[in-house]
Amino acid sequence: MQTCYRHPDRETGVSCSNCGKPICPDCMTPTTVGMRCPECAGERTKVRTVRTLTDEPRVTYALIAINVVVFLAELASGAGAVSGALGGDVVRRGALFGPKVADGEYWRILTGGFLHATFFHLLFNMYALYVLGSLLEPAIGKLRFAIVYMASLFAGSFGVLLVSPDAVTVGASGAVFGLMGASLVIMRSRGIGVLESGIGIWLLLNLALTFTVSGISIGGHVGGLVGGALAGLALLEAPRLRIQAPLATLLAALVGVVSIAGAIAVA
């Protein structure tokens, strides 16, 4: 395991997206092109090298592609693109719905997070996923990013079944809220206040919509946010507690496992 170039006693799995130097949470500066070290944080342009090309958010792109393909499958099965009404065989078989989960259809805890009610629902979530993934995935690595995303998705499903188990629920919003939570954990570790960042304002606006607009899943959004923040804490606070990176990754994955167990239990 590499160590921070400014703090040799701290192990880290994060590297500067520009120069490639290993950096710990105290040395990370979030930018639109990933985490940078203090020296590179002030640079306006990113140097494109063979190493930085590997920092492309490919897991983010793959998740977006999966969501788009699933939405096309929804349309092919009879769902409407803009009507806002849930329909089609794909949605009926995959949407998160407490009574069906209670009957043993546990896959809905996963598949509900890849289905969307309308094209605009999909568009908003995929835009948010692109922005957050472009920031977070290069900062923590592809595997860890995938773990945070899935842990957030499962935590969102847990929240839905805990708060509104009889509602038919679809959407990647829980996972997206989880990415917001994990991103804010990174900023906190760098000493950036929640309200000082664009993501902090974005989160507050979305939370306001969550609690004031009807038809939005409060349990899904809050559950995903909490799950993502916990997974992010497990990954990024580990070096401070002298926890080895593989164990920290397992702790982040455990958030998802506990969420699955909780979703099944409350269903």
Active-site residue, selected from the candidate residues 121, 183, 221, 259? 221
Pick left, alpha or beta for residue 104 (phi over 0 → left; psi -120 to 50 → alpha; otherwise beta). Answer: left
- Annotated active-site residue 221? The verdict is yes
Phi and psi at 61, nearest 5°, equal: -60, -40
Tell me if 98 sits within 8 A of 89, measured CB to CB.
no
For residue 29, what are the β-bridge partners? 36
Active-site residue, selected from the candidate residues 173, 197, 217, 259? 173
Query: Which residues make Cβ contacts (< 8 Å) with residue 95, sequence separation at least 6?
Result: 86, 108, 111, 112, 115, 168, 169, 170
- Annotated active-site residue 183? The verdict is no
Nearest one of 263, 266, 265 to 158, comparing CA atoms: 263
Helix axis angle for 173-189 and 142-163, nearest 10°, is 120
Active-site residue list: 173, 221
